[in-house]
Amino acid sequence: MENEIKTKVIGINVTSSVTLIALVDIRGNILAKDTLKTTDYPNVNGFVEALAEHIMLLSEANGGYQTIRSVGISAPSANFVTGCIENAPNMPWKGIIPLAAMLRDSIGLAVALGNDAHVSALGESVYGYAHGMNTFIIVTLGRKGVGSGFFSYGQPHLGTDGFAGEIGHCCIDVNGRPCNCGRKGCLERYVSIQGILQTAREMLEQTDHPSLLRSAGELTIEQLKTCADQGDELAREVWNVAGTTLGISLANYATVVNPEAVILTGVLLEHAKWMMAPMEKSFYDSLFHNIRSTIRLLVSPINNSDRDVLGASVLAWKVKEYSLFK
Ligand SMILES: [Zn+2]
């Protein structure tokens, strides 16, 4: 049929390790998924070629390529305004990467690219707790980084250059740990998985307190949780420090934005049981008093692997339809 409405989009989540590709229908059902290893493609041209091939195969196996409306991509340091990944500190491709234009030229469909944290906020606003909220903050606690985006009066606040909400690169210690962004003491060096493990290693070095962590070999976040579960004081203190640090930063952020909620997401939360109480305490203790009684601190109900592809699918619906095959 001429001008038939297309009811499916592709949502893609690019991270430094894995890229998840999902076929999503108009109701937000994930119909099919595929992955590729981002680390297999040190050259971005090879990555785009592989991505295009995976999109074709996924589409052909699920109703045909002609049924796909558009593509949305979530990526670190991506700029919705330019469609480029710009100087991503944790990615294999350096400089300015025009990923949206490259993929559009390769597959002949409209492609929108958004910053991972902003895309998470989009997913949360359509499919999560932020549904119906006008002003809210999303903070993603990841393996290496901490991302964030926020909506104001029902609209994503992108900022003049598309980089609003970079709480992970707000400085909490001018003489602190070096960050991949080139500065020192950024929040994400302390409350990402890598940052928390570094705190644990430093505490182990600085004291001679007995701890189960001392026999853990190369420390992992799973071990840090397990040791805290078993009553290990040093492990619990690591979580305590991380939670307190994060709570204060979230309170500062919320005091500036005055949102209905701060919603937490990200892979760290799968292990962070012992961080939650100190985080919540320091958050409410540090908030501006006039907003303390209304604001909610929540953990997203959407699972981590689905949220970003769902958010990317929302982004795909926002881009104007375009097809070389019409
Ligand atoms: Zn930084």
Radius of gyration of the chain measured on its C-alpha atoms = 21
Q: Are 108 and 324 in contact (CB under 8 A)?
A: yes
pLDDT at res. 321 = 80
Q: Residue 44 C-alpha to ligand 1 middle, in angstroms? A: 24
pLDDT at res. 326 = 46
Query: What does the block give as tokens for 113?
Result: 């690219």
Residues 6+ apart with CB under 8 A from 10: 21, 22, 23, 24, 55, 58, 59, 68, 70, 71, 72, 313, 316
pLDDT tens, position by position, 16-61: 889 999 999 999 999 999 999 999 999 999 999 999 999 999 999 9
The two beta strands, 296-299 and 261-265, are parallel
Q: Residue 166 C-alpha to ligand 1 middle, in angstroms? A: 9
Q: Residue 187 C-alpha to ligand 1 middle, in angstroms? A: 7
Q: Residue 176 C-alpha to ligand 1 middle, in angstroms? A: 11
Q: Residue 175 C-alpha to ligand 1 middle, in angstroms? A: 13
Q: Residue 195 C-alpha to ligand 1 middle, in angstroms? A: 12
Q: Residue 292 C-alpha to ligand 1 middle, in angstroms? A: 29
Q: Are 73 and 14 in contact (CB under 8 A)?
A: yes
Query: What does the block give as tokens for 148?
Result: 């964030």
pLDDT tens-place values along the chain, 326 residues long? 556 788 999 999 999 889 999 999 999 999 999 999 999 999 999 999 999 999 999 999 999 888 999 999 999 889 988 999 999 887 889 999 999 999 999 999 999 999 888 898 899 999 999 999 999 999 999 998 999 999 999 998 988 887 899 999 999 999 999 998 899 999 999 999 999 999 999 999 999 999 999 988 889 999 999 999 999 999 999 999 999 999 999 999 999 999 999 999 999 999 999 999 999 999 999 999 999 999 999 999 998 878 889 999 999 998 888 765 54
Residues 6+ apart with CB under 8 A from 106: 48, 49, 51, 52
pLDDT at res. 323 = 65
Q: Residue 201 C-alpha to ligand 1 middle, in angstroms? A: 20
Q: Residue 207 C-alpha to ligand 1 middle, in angstroms? A: 28
pLDDT at res. 289 = 95
pLDDT at res. 324 = 59
Q: Residue 60 C-alpha to ligand 1 middle, in angstroms? A: 42
Q: Residue 269 C-alpha to ligand 1 middle, in angstroms? A: 21
Query: What does the block give as tokens for 262?
Result: 């701060």
Assign 39 to helix, strand or coil. helix
Q: Residue 14 C-alpha to ligand 1 middle, in angstroms? A: 20
